């Protein structure tokens, strides 16, 4: 499996809403004892086993809008007749409330530039994605600024719970498939 968390590299972005994909990769890596530090295809990659399945945890280092280059390169290296079946992409989502997750087997980018880049680079939207909600209860005046802001102190416990839930969802996808995970976590 190729589990790709979307985010932006660097300390300035580390705790921003747009980096939930990286945060989940870090959680999975910590839990499974996988080091995500090997540079490959403009990404940081860690290899190990999750739920008895050989898995690569990936954090593209190209910045969000160019994530597709790293994903396409890594997919090309998978020894499989259908490498796209091995891909799971994790992203933040402004269409979902903070604390909610949604798993889909395919779909549009939904305005997310990282997903747009991946779809354009691999030529299909037929891949599993786990979307993590970031929308607060109050209106947002500037979406671009909002996604690049850090979580507030009051949001952090919700984010930690959501990352934990999302890690369980990824393990279910790996072990039992997307349909089972969708019925359990959506």
Count of structural domains, the chain: 1
Size of the chain in residues: 186
What pLDDT shows up at residue 83? 77
Cα–Cα distance for residue pair 147/60, rounded to 1 Å: 18
What pLDDT shows up at residue 31? 97
- Could you tell me how far CA 32 lies from the centroid of its own chain? 17
Q: Can you tell me whether residue 70 is helix, strand or coil?
A: helix
What pLDDT shows up at residue 114? 94
pLDDT tens track for 163-178: 999 999 999 999 999 9
pLDDT tens track for 84-124: 889 999 999 999 999 999 999 999 888 899 999 999 999 99
Packing angle of the helix pair 20-32, 156-176 (nearest 10 deg): 60
Is the torsion defined by CA of 60, 62, 64, 68 positive or negative? Answer: negative
What pLDDT shows up at residue 52? 95
Q: Which of 18, 30, 69, 112 is catalytic?
A: 18
pLDDT tens track for 3-33: 999 999 999 999 999 999 999 999 999 999 9
Sorted by sequence, the CB contacts under 8 Å of residue 156 that are 6+ apart come out as: none
pLDDT tens track for 147-167: 999 999 999 999 999 999 999
Quick check: is 138 catalytic?
Answer: no
Range of the domain at 72: 2-185
pLDDT band at 184 (very low <50, low <70, confident <90, very high): very high
pLDDT band at 79 (very low <50, low <70, confident <90, very high): confident
pLDDT tens track for 41-70: 999 999 999 999 999 999 999 989 999 999
Which CATH number fits the domain that encloses residue 81?
Answer: 3.40.50.1470
Q: What is the pTM of this model?
A: 0.95
């Amino acid at each position: 499996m190729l589990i790709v968390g979307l985010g932006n590299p660097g300390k300035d972005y580390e705790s921003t809403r747009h980096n939930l994909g990286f945060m989940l990769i870090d959680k999975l890596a910590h839990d499974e004892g996988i080091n995500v530090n090997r540079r490959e295809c403009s990404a940081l990659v860690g290899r190990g086993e999750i739920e008895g399945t050989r898995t690569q945890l990936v954090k593209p280092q190209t910045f969000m809008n160019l994530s597709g280059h790293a994903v396409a390169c890594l997919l090309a290296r998978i020894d499989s007749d259908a490498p796209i079946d091995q891909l799971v992409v994790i992203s933040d989502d402004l269409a979902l409330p903070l604390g909610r997750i949604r798993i889909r087997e395919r779909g549009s980018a939904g305005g997310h530039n990282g997903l747009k880049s991946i779809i354009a680079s691999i030529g299909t939207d037929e891949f599993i994605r786990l979307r993590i909600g970031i929308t607060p209860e109050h209106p947002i005046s500037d979406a671009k600024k909002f996604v690049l802001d850090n979580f507030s102190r009051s949001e952090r416990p919700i984010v930690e719970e959501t990352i934990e839930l999302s890690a369980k969802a990824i393990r279910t996808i790996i072990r039992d498939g997307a349909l089972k995970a969708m019925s359990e976590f959506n």
